[in-house]
Structure 1
Amino acid sequence: MKLNIINGPNLNLLGKREPEIYGGKSFEDYFRELQFKYTAIELSYVQSNLEGELITHIQESDEVYDGIILNAAAYTHTSVGIGDAVAAIGIPVIEVHISNTFAREEFRHQSYISKYAKGVILGFGLQSYELAIQSFMK
Structure 2
Amino acid sequence: MHIAVISGPNTNLYGLDPSGPYGTLTIADIEADCRRRAQALGASLDFAQSNHEGELVDLIQSCRRGGAREADGLVINAGSLSYTSIAIPDALAASGRPAIQVHVSNVFTREAFRHHSPISAVAVGCIIGLGPTGYGMAVEALIRRLTA
Q: Which TM-score band applies after superposition, normalised by the shorter structure?
A: over 0.9
1:55 deviation in Å?
Answer: 0.4
Structure 2 CA distance for aligned equivalents of residues 18 and 104 of structure 1? 18
1:67 maps to 73
Identity, % of aligned pairs? 40
Say which is worse superposed, 12-21 or 96-105, in terms of deviation.
12-21
Stretches of structure 1 lacking an aligned partner (at least 5 in a row): none
Determine if the alignment matches structure 1 residue 112 to structure 2 residue 118.
yes
SS at match of 1:62: coil
With CA pairs under 8 Å and 6+ residues apart, which has the higher RCO, 1 or 2?
Answer: 2
SS at match of 2:126: strand
1:46 maps to 48
1:30-87 Cα offsets, whole Å, 9 max, x none, are: 2123323432221111000000000010111112101000000100000011111112
Determine if the alignment matches structure 1 residue 95 to structure 2 residue 101.
yes
Contact 2:37-2:139 within 8 A present in 1 as well = no
Q: How much is the aligned-residue C-alpha RMSD, in angstroms? A: 1.3
1:18 deviation in Å?
Answer: 5.7
1:13 maps to 13
**Matched AA of 1:106:** A
TM-score normalised by L of structure 1 = 0.94
**Matched AA of 2:24:** G
Contact 2:4-2:74 within 8 A present in 1 as well = yes
Structure 2 CA distance for aligned equivalents of residues 31 and 20 of structure 1? 20
Contact 2:6-2:76 within 8 A present in 1 as well = yes
**Matched AA of 2:32:** R
Equivalent pairs counted in the alignment come to: 138
Stretches of structure 2 lacking an aligned partner (at least 5 in a row): none
